[in-house]
Amino acid sequence: MKFFAFLFFLFIALSNFSQNHSLPALKYAYNAYEPWIDAQTMEIHHAKHHQAYITNLNKAIVGTKMEKLSIIDLLMYASFRSDAVRNNAGGHFNHSLFWDILAPQTSQTPISSDLAAAIDSEFKSMDTLRVKINQGATTRFGSGWVWLSVTPDKKLMVSSTANQDNPIMDVSKDRGIPILCIDVWEHAYYLKYQNKRGDYLGAIWNLIDWGIVSQKYNAALNDSLLVELEKDNWMELKDFHKVMAQTFHPAEKDNLEPLRKRSAELMAKSSLLLASKAPKSLDKPAVKVALVQLEKQCIEINKLNSKNASDLVLKKKITAAHDTFHKVQELCHD
Ligand SMILES: [Fe+2]
């Protein structure tokens, strides 16, 4: 008996210690980034702030299906996640990338000719890129990040996000795979620079390892995530999906109230979806045909609802519309 009790407690102990995500070690000592970033800031930022995002992320996903998801999957569908997962998965990913691209000047590696050419072609020069990134960082109100990313059409893009969001997330307007980022939360610079964000931005450029950014550029160009980001970048489809899910799933359980309240909204979203511009890879006749059918079905549902059709009729119609929507989704993932 004692043996089984021991096994039980061992199991509980191991469960508590099994942590999905863990703090990546810095490549250099905390004081190696001086004089641009002081050792105390680096230590607090890495060992306290970044660690807190990881601890809270692990807490938020423990015992859920999300434990088995990669950090990219957690980020991709951020709009479907809780604030705790969105903020802490973002915090973990963003800081990991930030540490990776920073190096003391004596350890930095040179930019590749491919990335240098892409910067010249997109921004005219490295100086113009720097100005653009600093503008993004300066005008970011409150806390957030500024990014250099590779877009689904394989171009370079500068963008900024609030809080711990990033360009991989479906809540971001400008999506891509980030290859460089600058943390503009006050915790990144306050001890040395106080409220002078501009001075910190001037200093941080001395720590960018362009050789590492170049490696990330090459990896991003060949990453299948770019294809997924392109397909996923259809806001009208997501908007429709939300209303469909919130009306169809209760109807499945014979609760027609949400559909009765929102049939006009469902119809409006189906029309917006049909009129919207699909991502390039999804702009195909079969998708269009299915969307025309979907709109027709949603218009009929709204009409029947306004005439007080029975629950049975409405349930049958929303189930058929849901089947059509599934067909759209399948076509999108072909
Ligand atoms: Fe930070």
Return the CATH number at 242: 1.20.120.660
CA of 90 to the centre of ligand 1 (A): 11
* Domain region containing 50: 28-223
Q: What is the CATH number of the domain that holds 167?
A: 3.55.40.20
Of the residues 197, 223, 249, which one is the last residue of a structural domain? Answer: 223
CA of 180 to the centre of ligand 1 (A): 14
Residue 81 lies in a domain: yes
Residue 2 lies in a domain: no
CA of 42 to the centre of ligand 1 (A): 10
- 15 pLDDT tier (thresholds 50, 70, 90): very low
CA of 214 to the centre of ligand 1 (A): 23
Residue 5 lies in a domain: no
What pLDDT sits at residue 142?
A: 84
Q: Do 41 and 135 lie in a common domain?
A: yes
CA of 94 to the centre of ligand 1 (A): 8
Please indicate whether residue 259 or residue 13 has the higher confidence score (pLDDT): 259
What pLDDT sits at residue 18?
A: 45
- Averaged pLDDT, 293-322: 97
- 223 pLDDT tier (thresholds 50, 70, 90): very high
CA–CA gap between residue 293 and residue 264 (Å, rounded): 17
Residue 320 lies in a domain: yes
Q: Do 126 and 251 lie in a common domain?
A: no
Q: Do 183 and 323 lie in a common domain?
A: no
CA of 50 to the centre of ligand 1 (A): 7
pLDDT value at 281 more than 80: yes
pLDDT value at 14 more than 50: no
What pLDDT sits at residue 235?
A: 86
Number of domains in the chain: 2
CA of 10 to the centre of ligand 1 (A): 36
What pLDDT sits at residue 166?
A: 98
Q: Do 322 and 257 lie in a common domain?
A: yes
Q: Do 114 and 239 lie in a common domain?
A: no
Q: Do 183 and 208 lie in a common domain?
A: yes
CA of 30 to the centre of ligand 1 (A): 15
pLDDT value at 186 more than 90: no
- Share of residues in the chain with pLDDT > 70 (%): 94
What pLDDT sits at residue 19?
A: 61
What pLDDT sits at residue 195?
A: 81
- Averaged pLDDT, 27-50: 96
CA–CA gap between residue 328 and residue 282 (Å, rounded): 10
CA of 226 to the centre of ligand 1 (A): 26
CA of 254 to the centre of ligand 1 (A): 47
Residue 171 lies in a domain: yes
Q: Do 173 and 255 lie in a common domain?
A: no
Q: How far is CA 47 from CA 43, 57, 177, 196, in A?
A: 6, 15, 26, 24
Q: Do 61 and 201 lie in a common domain?
A: yes
CA of 45 to the centre of ligand 1 (A): 6
CA of 145 to the centre of ligand 1 (A): 9
Q: Do 97 and 188 lie in a common domain?
A: yes
What pLDDT sits at residue 261?
A: 97
Of the residues 223, 250, 265, which one is the last residue of a structural domain? Answer: 223
Residue 51 lies in a domain: yes
- Averaged pLDDT, 174-189: 93
- Averaged pLDDT, 169-187: 93
Q: Is the pTM of this model over 0.85?
A: no
- Would you say 57 and 78 are in contact if contact means Cβ atoms under 8 Å apart? no
Of the residues 194, 223, 252, which one is the last residue of a structural domain? Answer: 223
pLDDT value at 87 more than 70: yes
Q: Do 53 and 150 lie in a common domain?
A: yes
Q: Do 32 and 169 lie in a common domain?
A: yes
Residue 228 lies in a domain: no
- Averaged pLDDT, 131-152: 92
CA of 142 to the centre of ligand 1 (A): 13
Q: Do 62 and 199 lie in a common domain?
A: yes
Residue 187 lies in a domain: yes
